[in-house]
Amino acid sequence: MNPTTQRVAVLGGNRTPFARSNTAYADVSNQELLTAAIDGLVARFGLQDERLGEVVAGAVLKHARDFNLTREAVLGSRLAPETPATDIQEACGTGLQAAIQVANKIALGQIDVGIAGGTDTTSDAPVAISDRLRKKLMKVNAARDTVGKVKALGAIRPGDIGLEIPQNGEPRTRLSMGEHAALTALEWQITREDQDELAAASHQHLAAAYDAGFLDDQVTAFRGLERDNNLRPDSTAEKLAKLKPVFGRGEAATMTAGNSTPLTDGASAVLLSSEEWAAEHGLEPLAYFVDSETAAVDYVHGGEGLLMAPAYAVPRMLERNGLTLQDFDFYEIHEAFASQVLSTLKAWEDPIFCKERLGLDAPLGSIDRSRLNVNGSSLAAGHPFAATGGRIINVAAKLLAEKGSGRALISICAAGGQGVVAILER
């Protein structure tokens, strides 16, 4: 056993431009998207025919045929086919969780280099047939002869014919992500104005980042798309204020298509390695992967808001690292919904929440809002669930590289009441 750990370098990343559902990638599969994200990284870092330690990636919405999606993407890429691959899934936390798994293996010296990634497409969602129809069709398939097959087919009734379409919601509460977030927004009294302001800033910051060339070495054009097609550089809080609420009722109806992420298609990948591997390949690390934490909350019995788990994960990670919430140069908080980011920030400022729910003597306090999602986030880029973690790591690492030193906090809420957070440093 090797009890020592080593530093984990973030060398860089790549992603496809993100596309709103049923637009530029309407006919593209998860496998094609993930392969494109990996191959972009291969091209950028000269990894053709390299056997990497491991590729860990995943998709939230997967067809049965994609049972080993990441392995298939590796086999379809220009990496050496001897590169092992693992599929994981932790809803919107998938991409960051993939990076944590690769980083931990590197830290333990089990592998020298790996890729973490994620992909999702809501355009090619895994629509299945109803349970009743599936079971009856399996009997047809299992029948030994034509007579048996005809008999089994005869057992199918019109009422058996139905589709199972994946729901963007929680099976245990039957509420959508947006409806859950609307309840949390009401609890924390998050105003429509503040949500629209955050959404407008996301669009303006992402547009500025593209214009400044910040994303030139992170995004590779794909299927005719060069930039995320959800991006509206002309978004202003005034324009967003005109949109109709889509989630929540009455007082809770503050969330719109403009201050919520759209359903999105896309993929991302991040290259992580040991310092030794980076040096051997003449690569300068952008940043280092320092630590991570996951948390889960009981949203089912009303104990906590569905998307509030990062509020719990961050203080645990801060304590372990002897840091305060203010010790960061950049805060990359996934904008599932503007209200969710604002609810989390408000919770960290609240003495009662911090004492009673987090068990802290004092509130975590406010962050310097000028350091929040400085190059835009999911409201502007879009949110292909499992690809968001990679997008965020790449942005945070490059921000640190450009600054020369500092620390970034990454926080991602996920369906199922979970949250995945991490610290990058340079």
Binding residues for ligand ACO (CB under 6 A): 92, 168, 177-178, 203, 232, 235, 239-240, 243, 246, 257-258, 260-263, 307, 336, 383, 413-415
CB closer to ligand ACO out of 128 and 246: 246
CB closer to ligand ACO out of 257 and 367: 257
Q: Give one word for 423, left, alpha or beta, with left for phi > 0 and alpha for psi -120 to 50.
A: beta
CB closer to ligand ACO out of 15 and 383: 383
Query: What's the closest the beta carbon of residue 413 comes to ligand ACO, in angstroms?
Result: 5
Are 216 and 12 a contacting pair, CB within 8 Å? no
Query: What's the closest the beta carbon of residue 11 comes to ligand ACO, in angstroms?
Result: 27
Residue 401: closest CA among 426, 372, 374 = 426
Quick check: is 383 catalytic?
yes
Are 161 and 130 a contacting pair, CB within 8 Å? yes
Position closest to ligand ACO via CB: 336
**Which residue in 180, 334, 354, 413 is the catalytic one?**
413
Query: What's the closest the beta carbon of residue 415 comes to ligand ACO, in angstroms?
Result: 5
Query: How far apart, in whole angstroms, are the C-alpha atoms of residue 88 and residue 95?
Result: 9
CB closer to ligand ACO out of 6 and 236: 236
Quick check: is 354 catalytic?
no
CB closer to ligand ACO out of 22 and 321: 22
Query: What's the closest the beta carbon of residue 3 comes to ligand ACO, in angstroms?
Result: 36
Quick check: is 413 catalytic?
yes
Residues in the chain: 426
Query: What's the closest the beta carbon of residue 112 comes to ligand ACO, in angstroms?
Result: 32
**Which residue in 92, 203, 205, 354 is the catalytic one?**
92
Query: What's the closest the beta carbon of residue 368 comes to ligand ACO, in angstroms?
Result: 24
Query: What's the closest the beta carbon of residue 244 comes to ligand ACO, in angstroms?
Result: 8
CB closer to ligand ACO out of 232 and 357: 232
CB closer to ligand ACO out of 277 and 312: 312
- How far CA 387 is from CA of 89, 222, 268, 378, in Å, comes to 11, 15, 5, 11
Query: What's the closest the beta carbon of residue 340 comes to ligand ACO, in angstroms?
Result: 7
Instruction: Say which residues have a Cβ less than 8 Å from residue 207's Cβ, sequence separation at least 6.
Output: 231, 233, 376, 380
- Give the residue numbers marked as catalytic: 92, 383, 413
